Amino acid sequence: MSYDSDETIQVSATCVSCGMPMASAADHAPGHPESAWCAYCSTPNGDLQSFEERFERMTQWEMRRKGRDRASAEAATRAYMSAMPAWRDYPRLRGK
């Protein structure tokens, strides 16, 4: 976080769960502008979603946005998540 001359908080980061750029406080977990994950990867109270929920949502995104079938979307999601700081040590992703 940095401050401009008017003492307004400027937030700039990348979500450690999905990689989304977080340019404003609203992009971060609800009520937590300092959080390491974005609003899409968090629960309503600001916690990181479970691996299972995040995996399913990211798999669905792969299928919808990139037109992949389920198996290919899951493989792409595993590969992507295994590189993300929030998930790289997650047991289901190790060795993939």
Same domain, 67 and 88: yes
Name the token pair of 56. Answer: 């399913």
Q: What is the pLDDT of residues 18-38, one digit of tens each?
A: 999 999 989 999 888 889 999
The pLDDT assigned to 92 comes to 85
Task: Determine the average pLDDT of the residues in 87-93.
Answer: 91
d(CA 49, CA 40): 9
Number of domains within the chain: 2
pLDDT in tens, 38-65: 999 999 999 999 999 999 999 999 999 9
Answer yes or no: do 95 and 61 share one domain.
Answer: yes
Mark whether 88 and 71 lie in a shared domain: yes
Domain ranges, residue 54: 50-96
Based on the domain organization, do 24 and 64 belong to the same domain? no
Asked if 35 and 60 sit in the same domain, the reply is no
The Cα 37–Cα 57 span in angstroms is 15
Q: Which residues on adjacent β-strands are paired with residue 22? A: 13
Res. 9: pLDDT tops 80: no
Confidence (pTM): 0.79
Residue 4 has pLDDT above 70, yes or no: no
